[in-house]
Chain A
């Protein structure tokens, strides 16, 4: 595997379900990110991890819970989601977390909440 991978690619879940999204980067980077992209809206940064430590949480509801066990893996745990949470969730990584680091994106997980 190369680059940034995400699983699953598609997910349908009910509002009472618990599921997790997984991201893995094979680039040796130290920073990882979760973004949300809703239809006709810009990418919204959700969380930033730098050297496994969370450095940004952009007022994300607690029904989204990130986990970063090491610099290569990032999870997004989902529970009691709402239909408006349906979106494309993108993971990204970068070498560092300065404001000029290029971020490399995974293909995303398309989430539908029923």
Chain B
């Protein structure tokens, strides 16, 4: 059973607008979360992370929000740019049990110029 779910396989957004990618998890022990971005024919690259002691982490145009009670995290990209078009994966781990991350199936973001 999948412990990390990304229920939207795809998302299209106009350039300059906000992109919101969502991720839900089922394991309440998860306390560390990451977002990865993947272009075709390349491996996933790390984008941003958040620990469960925070509810928000911001890095430039990218902000990750964590709602522990809802077991939900989201990635906001503002403003969206065509170069942001990629597949975005969220991942979660239990920080004190080794480096096993559980990944979602990904959301393909298309930013329309």
Contacts and interface: CB of A to CB of B under 8 A. Distances in A.
Contacts, number: 70
State the majority secondary structure of interface residues on B: loop
Contacts of B101: 45, 103
B32 A100 contact: yes
Contacts of A96: 99
Contacts of A104: 45-46
A100 B95 contact: yes
Contacts of A34: none
A82 B107 CA distance: 28
A56 B100 contact: yes
Contact of A94 (B31, B91, B95, B99): B99
B42 A107 contact: yes
- B contact residues, range: 20 to 34
Contact of A102 (B49, B96, B102): B49
Interface stretch (A13-21, A35-43, A61-69, A70-78): A35-43
Contact of A42 (B4, B31, B51, B99): B4
B102 to A, nearest CB: 7
A99 B34 CA distance: 11
Given A48-B99, A98-B95, A99-B100, A105 B44 contact: yes
B73 to A, nearest CB: 15
15 contacts: A4-B43, A40-B105, A42-B2, A42-B89, A42-B106, A43-B91, A45-B101, A48-B98, A48-B99, A90-B44, A97-B98, A98-B95, A98-B96, A100-B93, A104-B46
Given A100-B95, A105-B43, 12 more contacts: A4-B43, A40-B105, A43-B44, A43-B91, A45-B101, A48-B98, A48-B99, A56-B98, A99-B94, A100-B49, A101-B99, A108-B43
